[in-house]
Chains A and B, each alone.
Chain A
Amino acid sequence: MKIENGELILEPDEITLRPNIFTSAGRNGTLHLLARQCVDCGDISFPPFRHCLKCESDKETVEKVLNNDATLLSYTIARQVMPGFNPNYILAKVRMEDDPTLVLVAQLTDIKPEDVAIGMELTMVPKIIKQLMNGQKVVSYCFRPKDPSKVSLGEGGQSE
Chain B
Amino acid sequence: MREVAIIGAGMVKFGKVPDYPAAKMGGDAALMALEQAGMKPTQMQATFCGNIGNPPNIGQRVNGEMGITGIPAFNHENACASSSAAFRQAFLSVANDVHDYVIAVGVENMTSHIASGVMSAGPLVLPHGANVEADNGMLMPGVFALLGSHHMAEYGTTEEQFAKIAVKNHAHSVHNPYAQYQKEFTLEEILESRMVCDPLTLLQCCPIGDGAAAVVLTTAENAKKHTTKPIFVAGSVLTSGKYKASVEGPVQIEACARAAKECYETAGVGPEDIDVIELHDCFSIHELVAYEDLGLCPKGEGGRFIDEGLSDYGGKVVVNPSGGLLCKGHPIGATGVAQLVEVVWQLQGVCGKRQVPDAKVGLTHNGGGFGPGNEPGAMSITIVKS
Q: B127 at interface (Cβ–Cβ under 8 A)?
A: yes
A81, A100, A138, A141: the one contacting B139 at CB < 8 Å is A81
Q: Which residues of A, 43-98, contact B by the 8 Å Cβ criterion?
A: 43, 47, 49, 53-54, 73-82, 85, 89, 91-93, 95
Decide: B197 and A76 in contact? CB cutoff 8 A.
yes
Q: Which residues of B, 140-172, contact A by the 8 Å Cβ criterion?
A: 141-142, 145-147, 149-150, 153
Apart from A54-B244, A75-B146, A95-B247: 6 A-B pairs, beta carbons within 8 A: A53-B243, A73-B146, A80-B141, A91-B137, A119-B153, A129-B136
Interface residues of chain B: helix, strand, loop or mixed (majority): loop
Decide: B244 and A118 in contact? CB cutoff 8 A.
no
Give the residues in chain B near A85, CB-CB below 8 Å.
Answer: 137
Interface residues of chain A: helix, strand, loop or mixed (majority): strand
Q: A37 at interface (Cβ–Cβ under 8 A)?
A: no
Closest to A56 in B: B243
Decide: B139 and A106 in contact? CB cutoff 8 A.
no
Give the residues in chain B near A8, CB-CB below 8 Å.
Answer: none
Chain A contact patch, size range: 35 or more
Give the residues in chain B near A103, CB-CB below 8 Å.
Answer: 244, 247, 372-373
- Those 9 A-B pairs whose CB atoms lie nearest each other, nearest first: A76-B145, A53-B243, A74-B150, A74-B149, A105-B133, A118-B153, A76-B197, A105-B372, A74-B146
Q: A1 at interface (Cβ–Cβ under 8 A)?
A: no
- Complex CA gap A76/B198 in Å reads 5
Decide: B149 and A101 in contact? CB cutoff 8 A.
no
Give the residues in chain A near B153, CB-CB below 8 Å.
Answer: 74, 118-119
Decide: A107 and B137 in contact? CB cutoff 8 A.
yes
Closest to A83 in B: B120
B120, B132, B248: the one contacting A100 at CB < 8 Å is B248
Taking the closest CB of chain B, its distance from the CB of A81, in whole angstroms, is: 7
- With A93-B150, A118-B153 as known contacts, state yes or no: A18 contacts B196, CB within 8 Å: no
- With A100-B248, A101-B247 as known contacts, state yes or no: A79 contacts B197, CB within 8 Å: yes
A17, A82, A92, A130: the one contacting B121 at CB < 8 Å is A82
Give the residues in chain B near A100, CB-CB below 8 Å.
Answer: 247-248
Identify 25 residue pairs between A and B in the complex whose beta-carbon atoms are under 8 Å apart, listed by A's number. Answer: A47-B130, A75-B146, A75-B149, A76-B149, A77-B198, A78-B139, A78-B197, A79-B195, A81-B139, A82-B120, A85-B137, A91-B139, A91-B142, A100-B248, A101-B248, A102-B247, A103-B372, A104-B372, A105-B133, A105-B137, A105-B372, A106-B136, A129-B137, A138-B135, A140-B136
Q: B353 at interface (Cβ–Cβ under 8 A)?
A: no
Decide: B136 and A93 in contact? CB cutoff 8 A.
no
Give the residues in chain A near B128, CB-CB below 8 Å.
Answer: 47
Q: Mark B62-105, 1 if CB is under 8 A from A, else 0.
A: 00000000000000000000000000000000000000000000
- Complex CA gap A92/B136 in Å reads 11
Q: Which of B128, B132, B141 has the most CB of A within 10 A?
A: B132
Interfacial residues, chain A to chain B (CB-CB below 8 A)? 17-18, 43, 47, 49, 53-54, 73-82, 85, 89, 91-93, 95, 100-107, 118-119, 129-130, 138, 140-141
- Complex CA gap A146/B208 in Å reads 40
Decide: A80 and B149 in contact? CB cutoff 8 A.
no
Give the residues in chain A near B295, CB-CB below 8 Å.
Answer: none
Closest to A76 in B: B145
- Complex CA gap A125/B135 in Å reads 17
Give the residues in chain A near B150, CB-CB below 8 Å.
Answer: 73-74, 93, 118
Q: B122 at interface (Cβ–Cβ under 8 A)?
A: yes
Q: B310 at interface (Cβ–Cβ under 8 A)?
A: no
Give the residues in chain A near B267, CB-CB below 8 Å.
Answer: none
- Complex CA gap A47/B128 in Å reads 8
Decide: A91 and B373 in contact? CB cutoff 8 A.
no
- Complex CA gap A82/B139 in Å reads 8
Taking the closest CB of chain A, its distance from the CB of B155, in whole angstroms, is: 12
Taking the closest CB of chain B, its distance from the CB of A104, in whole angstroms, is: 7
Decide: A93 and B198 in contact? CB cutoff 8 A.
no
A17, A54, A81, A89: the one contacting B132 at CB < 8 Å is A17
Decide: B133 and A17 in contact? CB cutoff 8 A.
no
- Complex CA gap A105/B142 in Å reads 10
Decide: A49 and B137 in contact? CB cutoff 8 A.
no
